[in-house]
Structure 1
Amino acid sequence: MIRILCLHLAENQASYRYRVEQFLPYWKEYGIDMQPLRITSKSYPEKLSIALRSGEYDYVWLQRKPLSPLFTSIIARNTNLIYDYDDALYAVESYRKTKPKPTQPGSKQTIQRLNMVLKCSSLVFAGSHALSEYASRFNPENTFIIPTAYQKLLEPPSPKATDETVTIGWIGNTGNLYFLSKIDEAAFAIQSRFPDSRFSVMSGKAPEGLKTKWEFVKWSKEGESAWLDSIDIGIMPLEDDEWSRGKCAFKLLQYMAHGKPVVASRVGANIDAVIHGNSGFLAASEKEWEAAFETLVSNPEERLRMGEKSLEHFLSTYEREQVQQRMATILHEHYKQHAYNR
């Protein structure tokens, strides 16, 4: 049994829920014993104690948060360090209008810590091609792409009746509401031309300053699945910048798991998640967004067909079991080759 201590972010963070928590009940099936421990709530002496005792485990799995150089170096000397990340911490967030604070993505401190942990890691699990390319500058032999996963539904999603109002949906945190402005003209044009179309957003607050009328549903863990069932089309607009190119297309996985066709910006991991013209559409301009919306809103048979293909692609590539099996294989191969010799 491979013993792993996982140092992670706060439990309410999506990064923790979908890159750590959802796998925990199943690791022993793969010969792995993983113990989660929240690192962000610990004092300096507590972190130092954890680092000094890290040799009690075969691996320490550091999830997203790069630690200080001291803690990183102690852990890397004592055991095998795994670094897992799903955001472009080396880039400034698309929506940030001020200089990032030292602990925020794109700051000098964050980049220095990130680069060090990448160099010191025995394994790097990167959530997208862009993140993998960045990590490979520092650790080319031990970097692997591990997409963010999502648990398949207990029962297959049922297609919605085709004569109902067509709902286009977006789900995400409040910071990412910024990206809705990138498709506002296209969405407003569709809303004006197709009175039976509606736009629904599930988030911490309603979007502001947009021409498009968005119906707001406050996010809750309990209500998320029902909301995903209720929409007909799922969307993920992004900026074509360094921050967005590092994103892991998680919204799309949520829509796909519920059998929804998707429309997404032709950026980063979206390009892999969307089979253009088959499971949905990739768009690089307002004109392309409007055309994709029009095709799906006006053609119920095409919506249903693309939704089926979307679900198929999810199950073959992003479903929890598929992703966890890949991680387990990498871990066991590395353990056989390296861990015995420590």
Structure 2
Amino acid sequence: MKRMKVLLFSKYSRRGPSSRLRSLQYLPMLKEYGIDVQVRALFPDAYLEERYHGSPSSALYRAWWHGTQRIVQILRRSEHDLAWIEGELFPYLPNWIESALARSVTPYVVDYDDALFHKYDLSQSPWVRRLLGSKIDKVMRGATCVIAGNGYLAARALRAGAARTAIIPTVVDEQRYTTVRHGADRPSVIGWIGSPATEHYVLDNREVLERVCVKYGARLLLVGPHVDIAKQFNSVVPEVVAWSEDNEVAMIKRMDVGIMPLRDGPWERGKCGYKIIQYMACGLPVVASEVGTNNDIVRHGENGFLAASASAWEKRLGQLLTDWSLRSRMGLAGRMCVENEYSLKAQAPRLAEVLRNAGRGSCAA
């Protein structure tokens, strides 16, 4: 079989979670399938460091600089069979610029792991809505195939006029995760992993979490939010730990129950449920909001519980905190679900097929 050359326009380098999970973690396995991928990251680690720990003005300057570099990369002739674009080539640039440059890298597939289109069509700025509200629809329409992380994103692509779609969920490298079993002789730990941008989902459920922890003598472990989130709790003081790629698995393995609270809104319906998959990969049962793709990943009563109200959250967490055997059963079911559906091993062959077919002008669904 002839080797295939793919030019990947990722948004970030490996430090950016979306790029790492949707594309970069697949590269070694794609190579085994005869697909060689050359990476062109828009924002490297230096930009992310400036954005998170430097000054906003310096980060903005770096963004413009790296955007200019991407234009040079696109216009420079490259021998490739297919371009693989994460979301869009240029954030906040009008589609006529995007489409003009995209002609230099056709054919292309475009990949989404969240509702990027809502950043524009639901923006608070009327100018953003007017100028960019339909941009992502046009990017989808021009693609040979749209790779979507869930059904909500795929449905948007079809409404936008995309020729073909393929649903490939966001997955874990199952070899990095091993199952954990804590005895019943220690305080149970309710755990959440996320970022400062998503910590408001935890705070939405603060009162429920406090009641449950007090009632059952449980502890709360939060990985990745702002450190001062602990000050917003009253009767419970959560342990707050900074996130890093190196420590995330170890932190999850300290937990007994993993949670994924969400609001029920358009942006949330586009999420791919990655933290649920991480919990399950470590053999943890989960409690998750009954929103979006959570309904597909969590098989209620089998590998976890779905909860649509505060009372449901309190009830389901109570069940898991008081029943060690239930936690164990659900945790094993979750791990099996990950291995069969939400792992690199399960999805890498599908992604390779999608890329190969797209390079020939078609797409595996």
* Fold agreement, TM-score > 0.5: yes
- Do the aligned partners of 1:52 and 1:75 also contact (CA within 8 Å) in 2? no
Runs of 4+ in 1 over 4 A off after TM superposition: 41-45, 106-110
Aligned with 2:295 (options 271, 278, 283): 271
The alignment partner of 2:173 has SS state of: coil
Distance 1:17 1:51 in 2: 21
- 1:201 aligned partner, one-letter code: L
The alignment partner of 2:232 has SS state of: coil
Distance 2:292 2:286 in 1: 15
Distance 2:305 2:204 in 1: 16
The alignment partner of 2:205 has SS state of: helix
How big is each residue's C-alpha offset from its partner over 1:98-138, in whole Å with a ceiling of 9 and x where there is no partner? 93698xxx855553331221111111111111111111112
- Do the aligned partners of 2:143 and 2:163 also contact (CA within 8 Å) in 1? no
Aligned with 2:333 (options 293, 296, 309): 309
Aligned with 2:167 (options 145, 152, 157): 145
How big is each residue's C-alpha offset from its partner over 1:300-333, in whole Å with a ceiling of 9 and x where there is no partner? 0100110000101111111012111111112223
The alignment partner of 1:38 has SS state of: coil
Residue of structure 1 equivalent to 2:237? 213
- 1:90 aligned partner, one-letter code: F
- 2:6 aligned partner, one-letter code: I
The alignment partner of 1:5 has SS state of: strand
Aligned with 2:36 (options 24, 33, 37): 33
- Do the aligned partners of 2:4 and 2:35 also contact (CA within 8 Å) in 1? yes
Verify: 1:203 aligned to 2:216, yes or no: no
Distance 2:171 2:142 in 1: 26
The alignment partner of 1:88 has SS state of: coil
- 1:268 aligned partner, one-letter code: G
Q: How many Å apart are 1:50 and its aligned residue?
A: 2.5
Residue of structure 2 equivalent to 1:51? 74
The alignment partner of 2:134 has SS state of: helix
Aligned with 2:185 (options 163, 173, 178): 163
Distance 1:272 1:217 in 2: 29
Gaps of 5+ in 2: 44-62
Over 3 Å counting, the alpha-carbon distance change for 1:45 and 1:225 in structure 2 is closer
Residue of structure 1 equivalent to 2:101? 74
Q: How many Å apart are 1:22 and its aligned residue?
A: 0.8
The alignment partner of 2:30 has SS state of: helix
- 1:85 aligned partner, one-letter code: Y
- Do the aligned partners of 1:2 and 1:33 also contact (CA within 8 Å) in 2? yes
Verify: 1:122 aligned to 2:144, yes or no: yes
Residue of structure 2 equivalent to 1:89? 116
Residue of structure 1 equivalent to 2:281? 257
Distance 1:154 1:221 in 2: 11
- Do the aligned partners of 2:88 and 2:139 also contact (CA within 8 Å) in 1? no
Report the aligned-residue RMSD: 2.4
Q: Structure 2-normalised TM-score?
A: 0.84
Aligned runs of 1:187-336 on 2, under 5 Å?
Answer: 187-195=209-217, 197-206=218-227, 207=229, 208-211=231-234, 212-336=236-360
- 2:233 aligned partner, one-letter code: L
- Do the aligned partners of 1:124 and 1:142 also contact (CA within 8 Å) in 2? yes
- Do the aligned partners of 2:212 and 2:317 also contact (CA within 8 Å) in 1? yes
Over 3 Å counting, the alpha-carbon distance change for 1:170 and 1:49 in structure 2 is same
User: How many corresponding residue pairs?
Assistant: 332
The alignment partner of 2:171 has SS state of: coil
How big is each residue's C-alpha offset from its partner over 1:16-42, in whole Å with a ceiling of 9 and x where there is no partner? 111122111221111211111112455
Q: How many Å apart are 1:92 and its aligned residue?
A: 5.1
Identical pairs, percent: 30
Residue of structure 1 equivalent to 2:60? none
- Do the aligned partners of 1:166 and 1:198 also contact (CA within 8 Å) in 2? yes
Residue of structure 2 equivalent to 1:63? 86
Q: Structure 1-normalised TM-score?
A: 0.89
